[in-house]
Amino acid sequence: MEKVRTPVQQRSQEKKQRIIDVSYGLFCHKGLDETNTKEIARAAGVSVGTFYSYFEDKVDVLLEIVHQQKQIQVEDSIAKMLQNSEQRPPFETIYMILRMMLDTRNLPESLQRQVSGLRYSNWRFEEFHKKEEQVTVALLTKLIESFGDEVCVPDKKKSAQLLLLLLKESFRSYTVFEQNLEKEDFLHELSVVIYNYLFVTRPELS
């Protein structure tokens, strides 16, 4: 098998994205285990050889799907807010980031369960999540630093790691499990929690 290549020309990029989009639909409908590479290639209108020129296997495709979803949901939202963040109140910035993240399409619950399971059973998924989290923590750290001296947390990177855990659990609970909480209330109250954590002086343990 030839080494997986990164498409440069627009036609090749479109072909790779078509494989990703088709795979997404098949994974959602049938699941990862019940979908094979021949089926993906046929649905995408490419040869099996072409499939393997872009991806190692179907797990590799799923990794790319998760990467694109996460990049849009988290990384792009934070990156956009970092632009001219000093020109808007911190609370507004926090709220806008949360809204952008919540409004972005999440993986369907069935596919999310498969991804969660693979994280603990597939070393590639574990390594992927570690790298993705490092990128997100770096962006969150920059965001906290952009608020300037008003921030009360002493260790900004450690605070970014904690905020990532909070966001992951809060969004997962709100989107996957039924909650008796309106969207605006959820966004506002979560924004208040984060704002208070970052900007309100904390008591020290004696």
List pLDDT tens digits, range 81-93: 777 666 788 999 8
Average pLDDT over residues 41-64: 93
Which two three-digit tokens encode residue 166? 């909070």
Residue 64 has pLDDT above 80, yes or no: yes
pLDDT for position 139: 85
Query: Is residue 127 scored above 50 in pLDDT?
Result: yes
Angle (deg, nearest 10), helices 10-30 and 58-70: 100
What average pLDDT does the chain have? 85
* Dihedral sign for Cα atoms in the order 19, 24, 29, 31: positive
Q: Tokens at residue 99, please?
A: 């809204």
Q: At 101, which amino acid appears?
A: M
Count the neighbouring beta carbons within 10 Å of the beta carbon of residue 61.
25
Output the pLDDT for position 85: 62
pTM exceeds 0.85 for this model: no
What does the pLDDT read at residue 8? 59
Q: What is the pLDDT of residue 7?
A: 66
pLDDT the model gives residue 1:
44
Q: Can you tell me the mean pLDDT for 187-200?
A: 95
**88-121 pLDDT, tens per residue?**
889 998 998 888 877 765 677 778 778 878 878 8
